[in-house]
């Protein structure tokens, strides 16, 4: 029983933290980044040629928080170490899903043509279909509502949105 718990408790902490982080990231994206933290996040919604953007400071803050939990967890309170693993794992998911897949911040281009990855890709494209910080949809990074629901929400908004948001240089990505 002790062996089971020694694996079960860390697994539950890591998986639970990843799930919580998706909720927290979506909440903070909507209420902080599109609220009082817009000064940093605005760089993400504007065209730029730089490799880094001011918005990347949010990832640095989350990383510092994880490092602090690793330190506290290894010195005093071991469950915090596993929570830090979950936050770090979410950071890796965020990097691949958001920075890599959606915004193509890696050295090759991949546009998903079907399934879950296509849904995440389209949802975040629709997030950027509104100019400015108000009226956006889809604030999560790993979970995404289907594109048709998000388009309906955008159409119900009073702000204009760009209906070409789902289009890409590779038109087949959105037509399949």
Query: pLDDT tens digits, residue range 68-115?
Result: 999 999 999 999 999 999 999 999 999 988 888 888 888 878 888 999
Quote the tokens at residue 122: 């389209």
Question: Do 165 and 126 form a contact (C-beta atoms < 8 A)?
Answer: yes
Instruction: Pick the more confident residue, 160 or 51.
Output: 51
Query: Beta strands of 44-128 (E only): which ranges?
Result: none
State the pLDDT confidence band at 38, using cuts at 50, 70 and 90: very high
């Amino acid at each position: 029983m002790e062996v089971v718990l020694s694996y079960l408790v860390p697994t539950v902490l890591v998986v639970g933290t990843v799930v919580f982080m998706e909720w927290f990231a979506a909440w903070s994206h909507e209420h902080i980044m599109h609220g009082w933290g817009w000064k940093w996040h605005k760089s993400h919604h504007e065209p730029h040629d730089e490799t880094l953007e001011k918005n990347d400071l949010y990832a640095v803050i989350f990383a510092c928080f994880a490092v602090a939990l690793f330190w506290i967890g290894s010195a005093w309170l071991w469950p915090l170490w596993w929570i830090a693993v979950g936050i770090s794992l979410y950071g890796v998911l965020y990097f691949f899903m958001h920075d890599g897949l959606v915004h193509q911040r890696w050295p090759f281009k991949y546009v998903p043509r079907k399934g879950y990855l296509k849904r995440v890709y389209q949802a975040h494209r629709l997030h950027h279909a509104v100019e400015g910080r108000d009226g956006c949809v889809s604030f999560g990074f790993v979970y995404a509502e289907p594109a048709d629901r998000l388009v309906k929400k955008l159409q119900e908004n009073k702000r204009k949105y760009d209906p070409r948001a789902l289009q890409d240089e590779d038109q087949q990505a959105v037509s399949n």
